[in-house]
Every structure is written in structure tokens, then in C-alpha cells.
Copies of this chain bind each other. A is one copy, B any other.
Amino acid sequence: MATRAAVSVRALRYYEEQGLLAATRSVSGQRHYTESAVERVKLIQSLYGAGLSSKTIADLLPCVDAQVSTPESRALLAAERDRIDRQIAELTLTRGKLDAIIEQTSRPSPQSAYTTEPAE
């Protein structure tokens, strides 16, 4: 299953520890996951990738399962969405800066170039 979701077994255990992922247990204690768990794990990974903490994810995952719609949950969802929005904006700016640098360094030396002249 860890293979199917492309994460480590340790990560799955950690997610379960944090209350992000449920697993039925066999008598001997073995974990069994449903098929939906794979998508669940990918969602979790996405949220981690977006910079959310375990706690935040734990707070908003119930909104995905049962569509509970308390004012707090809606506020949380909106807040995180906006956070991601801002992150995208910042990343776009940063990418722009990098692009500018790339353009400058790839320019065939503007004027008095005592620095690495491409010299066709």
C-alpha cells in the first residue's frame, strides 16, 4: 500500500499517528487500508507540500470526509486557500526575479565585459 501511494511505510504510520489516516486492524495488529486511502494520502501530501502542518490538516480533513460545515471549518478552509494564494503570488514573483537574473547572465555582456565573454 505504501508502494501504491508512493510514500514510505513510516510516513503512513506518522499520518495515522497524527490522526490524518485511519486504518482497520486485523486481529494480529496488521493495518489494512481501503482504496480511498491512496487518494487520501495524496491529498495529505499535497497539503504538506502547500506548507500546512499536521494539525491544520487534521483540522480540515473532517470537512472532506463528512461535509461538516461549521463557521470555524469554513474560516479555516478559506484561510488556507488564501494562504496558498499568497504563496503562489510570492513564488511567481520569485520566479520573475530568477528569470530576470537568467536574462542578465545570458545577455552577451552589455558593456565593458571583463567577465566571461561568450565570444561567439
Is A69 engaged at the interface, CB distance under 8 Å to the other chain?
A: yes
Q: Which of A78, A80, A88 has the most CB of B within 10 A?
A: A88
- Whether A115 contacts B67 in the complex (CB less than 8 A), given A90-B46, A90-B49, comes out as yes
Copies of this protein chain in the complex: 2
Residues of B within 8 A of A102 (CB): 74, 77-78, 81
Size band of the A side of the interface?
A: 35 or more
- Check B81–A95 contact: CB distance below 8 A: yes
Residues of B within 8 A of A92 (CB): 88
Give chain A's interface secondary structure class: helix
Closest B residue to A117 by beta carbon equals: B69
- Check A93–B46 contact: CB distance below 8 A: yes
A63 CA to B105 CA, complexed, in Å: 7
Residues of B within 8 A of A74 (CB): 102, 105-106
A binding-site residues for B, Cβ under 8 Å = 43, 46-47, 49-50, 60, 63-64, 66-70, 73-74, 77-78, 80-81, 84-85, 87-88, 90-95, 97-99, 101-102, 104-107, 109, 115-116, 118
